[in-house]
Chains A and B, each alone.
Chain A
Amino acid sequence: METKAQNYASELKERRWLSNKSFEITLTKPKDFRYIPGQWIRLIHHTVERDYSLVSTPTDPKLALCIRNIEDGILSPGLSNAPVGSCFNFNGPHGYFTFRPSTRPAVFAATGTGLAPFVSMARSGVTGFILLHGVRSAKDLYYTSVIKSAAKQYVPCLSGTDSLSGEYFRGRVTDYLRKNLAPGLYDFYLCGRREMIRDVTFLVDEKFPGSLIFTETFY
Chain B
Amino acid sequence: MKIYTGTGDRGKTSLFSGQRVSKANARIEAYGDMDELNSIIGALSANLGPPHSDPVEELQQIQTDLFAIGALLATTPDSPAMDTIAGIGDEHIEFLEKSIDRMEQALPELKGFILPGGDPTAAWAHVARTVCRRTERRIVRFLDASFKMQAPDSYQRSLIYINRLSDYLFVAARYCNHLFDTPEKLWQK
The residues of A with any CB-CB pair to B shorter than 8 Å are 2, 51, 96, 100-102, 187, 194, 197-198, 201-202, 204-205, 209, 211-215, 217-219
Closest B residue to A206 by beta carbon equals B10
CA distance A51 to B83 in the complex (A): 24
- Residue among B5, B12, B16, B86 facing the most chain A CB atoms (10 A cut-off): B5
* B10 and A96 form a contact (CB under 8 A): no
Judge if B114 is at the interface, Cβ distance under 8 Å: no
* A96 and B84 form a contact (CB under 8 A): yes
The residues of B with any CB-CB pair to A shorter than 8 Å are 1-2, 4-7, 9-10, 12, 14, 16-20, 79-81, 83-84, 86
* B6 and A198 form a contact (CB under 8 A): yes
CA distance A194 to B84 in the complex (A): 25
CA distance A187 to B4 in the complex (A): 22
Question: Across the A-B interface, how many residue pairs have beta carbons closer than 8 Å?
Answer: 51
- Additional A-B contacts beyond A96-B81, A205-B20 (18; CB < 8 A): A2-B84, A100-B79, A100-B80, A101-B80, A194-B6, A197-B5, A197-B7, A198-B9, A201-B5, A204-B20, A212-B17, A213-B14, A215-B5, A215-B7, A215-B14, A217-B5, A218-B2, A219-B2
CA distance A102 to B78 in the complex (A): 11
- Residue among A101, A187, A198 facing the most chain B CB atoms (10 A cut-off): A198
28 contacts between A and B (CB under 8 A): A2-B83, A2-B84, A51-B1, A96-B16, A100-B18, A100-B80, A100-B81, A101-B80, A194-B4, A194-B6, A197-B7, A198-B5, A198-B6, A201-B5, A202-B7, A202-B10, A204-B20, A205-B10, A205-B12, A205-B20, A209-B20, A211-B20, A212-B18, A212-B19, A215-B14, A217-B1, A217-B5, A219-B2
Whole-angstrom distance from the CB of B72 to the nearest CB of chain A?
A: 14
Instruction: Write out the residue numbers on chain B whose beta carbons fall within 8 Å of the beta carbon of A96.
Output: 16, 81, 84
* B4 and A201 form a contact (CB under 8 A): no
CA distance A218 to B7 in the complex (A): 15
Instruction: Write out the residue numbers on chain A whose beta carbons fall within 8 Å of the beta carbon of B2.
Output: 194, 217-219
* A187 and B18 form a contact (CB under 8 A): yes
Closest B residue to A51 by beta carbon equals B1
Closest A residue to B79 by beta carbon equals A100
CA distance A60 to B128 in the complex (A): 49
Whole-angstrom distance from the CB of B34 to the nearest CB of chain A?
A: 19
* A213 and B5 form a contact (CB under 8 A): no
Whole-angstrom distance from the CB of A123 to the nearest CB of chain B?
A: 20
Instruction: Report if A194-B5 is in contact (Cβ < 8 Å); known contacts: A202-B10, A204-B20, A205-B10.
Output: yes
Instruction: Write out the residue numbers on chain A whose beta carbons fall within 8 Å of the beta carbon of B7.
Output: 197-198, 201-202, 215
Instruction: Write out the residue numbers on chain B whose beta carbons fall within 8 Å of the beta carbon of A215.
Output: 5, 7, 14
Instruction: Write out the residue numbers on chain B whose beta carbons fall within 8 Å of the beta carbon of A219.
Output: 2
CA distance A201 to B19 in the complex (A): 11
Whole-angstrom distance from the CB of B10 to the nearest CB of chain A?
A: 7
CA distance A204 to B17 in the complex (A): 16
Whole-angstrom distance from the CB of A103 to the nearest CB of chain B?
A: 12
CA distance A2 to B80 in the complex (A): 12
CA distance A101 to B17 in the complex (A): 12
Closest A residue to B86 by beta carbon equals A2
Whole-angstrom distance from the CB of A34 to the nearest CB of chain B?
A: 14
